[in-house]
Amino acid sequence: MQPSNRVLITGITGTLGTQLTKYLLETYEDDIEIVGISRDEQKQNSFMVQDHRVKLKLADIRNKDSLYRAAMGQVWEGYDCIFHLAALKCAPQLEDNPHEAIATNITGTENILDMARELQSRVCFTSSDKAVYPVNIYGMTKAVGEKLVLADPINVVCRYGNVLGSRGSILPSLVKSLRLHKKAHITDPEMTRFWLPIEDVAAFVATQGMDGEGGLHIPPHMQSSAVKDLIHATAELLNIPAFELENIGVRPGEKMHEHLETRYENGHRDISSGDIERLVSKDGIKEIIRGSVCTL
């Protein structure tokens, strides 16, 4: 009997794609089939999820023909949900390569939406707090992506903060720097960020994509901390009592505080990572670190 739940995941070989795949397989057991696309054959060869319910396809979302061949060349018509995770995300690099950011994060998203309309499939788009009051090209492309996706009321946008434990996130590089060099870099001691473990993000995205109502969704009660507290908490968990803290200054395209919502979206005020009720202590951020897949 064919599974009743069929989904497509773009960027499946990324950290979130891997965790989302695991979550969906565990949640739906034998009642799901997943097609995953990415453009890196080496990551597909080493993909951690080996399961007959998962089919991997090479494709580039920037190329509509490539996308359509991979995603539409299946035995069924359409997907219950297309989880659109693929994106260029490294904000400092994208500042110098805006055309690449636009090609992947905007044109690629348009290609996904065109295909979804043909297949009459819902799209679940993963966004970022950097799309709120955006000051860098990454945030700007995510803000445009949100608008494109939400033009169809059945679609879902999941907006959240920094994902601890994902490739390219602060935690793996911080752990490496502390262990190897007893050093950590900091932009500004008062800078704050929202944090969420990768497993929590995967569960949130899966739930909203499969069962949530169309529209913008933000994890409730997302916590934040000063970046300095994240550094000190990580050092304590690694049992590194002394280390050098090098202040490198705020980089182009960075804000002191991020926002999850604007006053225009929630009707009364901004939700900022600097809000007192959102900030957690050093011990609080330790618990969030422990919840990530990044092994200390």
| pLDDT tens for each residue of 198-255 | 999 999 999 999 999 999 999 988 999 999 999 999 999 999 999 888 888 777 788 9
Partners of 158 in the β-ladder: 126, 217
Per the domain annotation, does 111 fall within a domain? yes
User: CATH code at 55?
Assistant: 3.40.50.720
On whether residue 296 sits in a domain, the answer given is no
Q: Provide CB contacts within 8 A for 208, sequence distance 6+.
A: 124, 156, 158, 217
Q: Would residue 229 count as lying in a domain?
A: no
Amino acid at 9: I
Integer Cα distance of 85 and 82 in angstroms? 9
**Radius of gyration over alpha carbons of the chain, in Å?**
19
Q: Count up the domains in the chain and report the number.
A: 1
Domain for residue 252, yes or no? no
Looking at residue 295, its pLDDT comes to 52
pLDDT band, residue 149 (cuts 50/70/90): very high
Sign of the CA dihedral with 140 first, then 195, 83, and 14 last: positive
| Residues with catalytic function | 130
Evaluate whether residue 285 is within a structural domain. Answer: no
The pTM of the full predicted model, rounded to 2 decimals, is 0.93
Range of the domain at 40: 5-160+198-217
In a domain, 278, yes or no: no
- Strands 244-247, 183-186: parallel, antiparallel or unpaired by DSSP? parallel
Q: Which are the contacts of 268, defined by CB distance < 8 A and separation ≥ 6?
A: none
CA atoms of 93 and 137, how far apart (whole Å): 10
The reply to whether 260 falls in a domain is no
